[in-house]
Amino acid sequence: MSSIPLTVRGAERLGDELHHLKTVERPNVIEAIAEARSHGDLSENAEYDAAREKQGFIENRIARIENILFNAQVIDPLFVDNGGHIVFGATVKLEELNSGNYFSYQIVGDMEADIKSGLISISSPMARAMIGKEEGDIIEVKAPSGNYKYEIINISYI
């Protein structure tokens, strides 16, 4: 598997989630399975089935996070040599030229993208349009709802 780019903050979040899954969720589901077993016949025990299903989800998530962290290339945006250009980890303030609305996005790895939090994937059309650009540049992003033009107002690395 190739390396998976993550910001330091993204790696920390995944590490925190992994710790929570292993120290809180896993013991809770094991306890729920033991409780359901104590009720007798497992063949018609919905609590047991639900607990086992949750255990499967937790174990799969643990394995997935461990795999991501093992293959991660953690990049600290503060130490990226960017030469004034937008690169991975940049936080970019944009103005949508038609509406005059402002947006701010940080370019992050696929595993940590969350548009509601302003974190966009490095492989998204928006991020691909921004990579390599500078403040003052105009970018065009093709979306299913049409084409949008943005001016890059500010680039920061936090």
The 10s digit of each residue's pLDDT in 94-138 is 999 999 999 999 999 998 999 999 999 999 999 999 999 999 999
Which tops the pLDDT comparison, 144 or 74?
74
What mean pLDDT do residues 58-75 have? 95
Domain ranges, ordered by start, for the chain: 4-75, 77-156
Please tell me the class of the 4-75 domain: mainly alpha
The 10s digit of each residue's pLDDT in 107-117 is 999 989 999 99
Distance (Å, whole) CA 139 – CA 35: 58
Mean pLDDT value across the chain: 91
Q: Could you please state the CATH topology (level 3) that the domain comprising 77-156 is classified under.
A: Chitinase A; domain 3 (3.10.50)
Q: What angle do CA 3, 4, 5 make, to 5 degrees?
A: 115
Q: What's the per-residue H, E or C state across the chain?
A: CCCEEEEHHHHHHHHHHHHHHHHHHHHHHHHHHHHHHCCCCCCCCHHHHHHHHHHHHHHHHHHHHHHHHHHEEEECHHHCCCCCCCCCCCEEEEEECCCCCEEEEEEECHHHCEHHHCEEECCCHHHHHHCCCCCCCEEEEEECCEEEEEEEEEEECC
